[in-house]
Amino acid sequence: MLKTRFTEMFGVQYPIVQGGMQWVGRAELTAAVANAGALGFLTGLTQPTPEDLVKEVKRCRDMTDKPFGVNLTILPTLVPRPYGEYIDAIIQSGVKIVETAGNNPKPFLPKFKEAGIKVIHKCTSVRHGVTAERIGVDAISMDGFECAGHPGEDDVPNLVLLPAAANVINIPMIASGGFADARGLVAALALGCDGVNMGTRFMATKEAPIHQKVKEAIVGADERSTALIFRTMRNTSRVFNNSVAKKAIEMEHEGKTIAEIGPIVSGQKGKVVYETGDLEHGIWSAGTCMGLIQDIPTCKELVDRMVREAKDIIAKRLAAMAA
């Protein structure tokens, strides 16, 4: 055990979360994370329709009897998605934990609460965390500038963001962005959080349903191997720094619109990267913590190692300093 307010609230063994990741958060990974004693999330929008999401939840439930959740990210998309129907599908599926992200979850909270669903809201600023607590979410996932995907527009890294948030947030909070090992986990606990959320680290695991070449690229990359696209549109996204990311940034600076850039940055192209291992086919999300990732373990090996080493750091290294 490594007990925190987060593990108590969500009924998991360890304060480690596999957060939503477009195209990656599928049943194989989420069930493996759950079976390892951590909290996994299926990514709602990875499923083409709400009916497919219900089937994916069932598939995941066939692979684990441990708790897991569904991520629902509400951000601009190239093709409109029926969010209301995805919410109904989540409720119908019987899942009891949801991770919301990208937008204020207030409109959906009554439905989730009525269905007995606990909501973790992922946000990128202290003020949004405070609002989320006020409107009644159960926990916060605070996502710093280091993260893969959408870090918001304030550019505050976690060394400041997390304690600043911990000063004013009272509900359980997990730290997201830049976490990949036991040192990060212990640091997050010291900064006032109740656990960590990891995305990129879980991509480089045996069970992640993506091509081996993508996993090897993560292991081969360092902390400088990401790029920030969509800055000019205030929809910043941190992605692997490949030729497509460079081209997208160039087009943005030439004043091209999303309609013109869309064909090269579309999620459908990113999906092909994960399927084929062609790293230059599209954009794909990855975080700065690639600089900390040096192997491709199973989820269980990863979680066990993090917990074992975290306990060692707390009980030996830090305790010796305070003795």
Judged by the rule CB under 6 A, the positions of this chain that interact with ligand NAD are 20-22, 43, 45, 71, 73, 75-79, 101, 149, 230, 233, 235, 237, 258, 265-267, 270, 285
Yes or no: say if 112 and 98 are a contact pair by the CB < 8 Å rule: yes
Provide the 3-class DSSP secondary structure of residue 72: strand
2 or 68: whose CB is closer to ligand NAD?
A: 68
92 or 266: whose CB is closer to ligand NAD?
A: 266
204 or 307: whose CB is closer to ligand NAD?
A: 204
Which of 150, 161, 123, 152 lies closest to 139 in space, CA to CA? Answer: 123
15 or 20: whose CB is closer to ligand NAD?
A: 20
Which of 139, 123, 135, 149 lies closest to 69 in space, CA to CA? Answer: 139
Q: For the CB of residue 255, give the shortest distance to ligand NAD in the complex, in Å.
A: 14
Exposed (0-12), middle (13-18) or buried (19+): which is 270, by Cβ within 10 Å? buried
Residue nearest to ligand NAD (CB): 267
74 or 307: whose CB is closer to ligand NAD?
A: 74
| CA 87 – CA 93 distance, rounded (Å) | 10
Q: For the CB of residue 45, give the shortest distance to ligand NAD in the complex, in Å.
A: 5
Q: For the CB of residue 177, give the shortest distance to ligand NAD in the complex, in Å.
A: 12
Which of 52, 92, 53, 94 lies closest to 72 in space, CA to CA? Answer: 53
Q: For the CB of residue 268, give the shortest distance to ligand NAD in the complex, in Å.
A: 6
Q: For the CB of residue 238, give the shortest distance to ligand NAD in the complex, in Å.
A: 10
**What six digits make up the tokens of 194?**
């109740």
Residue with tokens 């304060």: 15
